[in-house]
Structure 1
Amino acid sequence: MEFATKIKKYRQQNEWTQQTVAEKLSVSRKTVSSWENSRSYPDIFMLVQLSDLYHVSLDDLLREDHEMIDNYKQEHEANRKQDHTFVTSYIINVVASFYFLCRSLVGTGWINQLQPG
């Protein structure tokens, strides 16, 4: 059974409206509707809260919904690439800053005034 179908079924078993679930999770009713209609997926933190709210395991929520699992894999890969780009940019900025700092110190002659030892 698909994730969206499961969370809708669990909500209906508890006789809750989407608004009730939204209030319990501190999200909008539209967000709950999007989850139940497979337009979007909750983040990992919210999955844990849904699991707690409906008293079901994460395994039960996620099992069999391969589209959702693929979506999380794609998000993970995109985040990994973003992290790599950030680290690379950070290192380049540090090296460039150090280079320009050294050039400016040499250019002013200040560094030549330092006594060795």
Structure 2
Amino acid sequence: MDLGKNILTFRKKLRLSQEKLGDEIGVTRQTISNWECNLTTPDAYQLIALANALQVSMDTLVGNSQETILIEKVTNVEEEVMKANSLLKISIYILVFVVILLLFVFISSN
């Protein structure tokens, strides 16, 4: 999820209007709308106030939950393992081919 979608999701979960949320953190309804549409982003102070008003941690608000980070890391590791396995298979095929070729040359020379 992106920041704008998170703001929208958590705002609706608390049944707050854009105007009410804006009033709580000292910005206009239009500013909230711009954030939710990812047209603009809150500054650091606004982000803190937003997380407090939406009753979530900043990590959760910006999409850095532990679960999300762990899933991303596991996915990256799995991709690297798959690449390594593919390279290993190719290396084995090349090695087998070279051994067969050397055997053929050795047998042909005798």
Alignment pair present for 1:55 and 2:49: no
Q: Distance in 1 between matches of 2:54 and 2:34?
A: 18
Q: Which runs of 4+ in 1 moved over 4 A?
A: none
Query: Which string of whole-angstrom CA distances, capped at 9 and with x for unpartnered residues, describes residues 7-61 of structure 1?
Result: 1011111111101111111111110000000000000000000111111111111
Aligned pair 1:29/2:29, yes or no?
Answer: yes
Within-5 A mapping of 1:1-117: 1-63=1-63
Give the number of the structure whose alpha-carbon radius of gyration is greater.
2
Q: How far 1:63 sits from its partner (Å)?
A: 2.8
Structure 2 stretches of 5 or more lacking a match? 65-110
Look up the SS of the partner of 1:27 in the other structure. Answer: coil
Work out the number of aligned pairs and report it. Answer: 64
Question: Counterpart of 1:9 in structure 2: which amino acid?
Answer: T
What CA distance in whole angstroms lies between the structure 2 residues aligned with 1:17 and 1:63? 22
Amino acid of the residue matched to residue 27 of structure 1?
V
* TM-score of the two chains, using structure 2 as the length reference: 0.55
Q: Which whole-Å CA distance do the structure 1 matches of 2:5 and 2:58 have between them?
A: 15
Point out where structure 1 has 5 or more consecutive residues left out of the alignment.
65-117
Which one-letter code corresponds to 2:54 in the other structure? Y
Seq. identity, %: 28
Give the Cα separation in 2 of the matches to 1:61 and 1:16.
Answer: 16
1-side partners of 2:63 and 2:17: how far apart? Answer: 24
The normalised TM-score by structure 1 is 0.52
Letter in 1 for 2:58: L
CA RMSD for the aligned pairs? Answer: 1.1
AA at the equivalent of 1:34: N
For residues 54 and 37 of structure 1, what CA distance do their matches in structure 2 show? 17
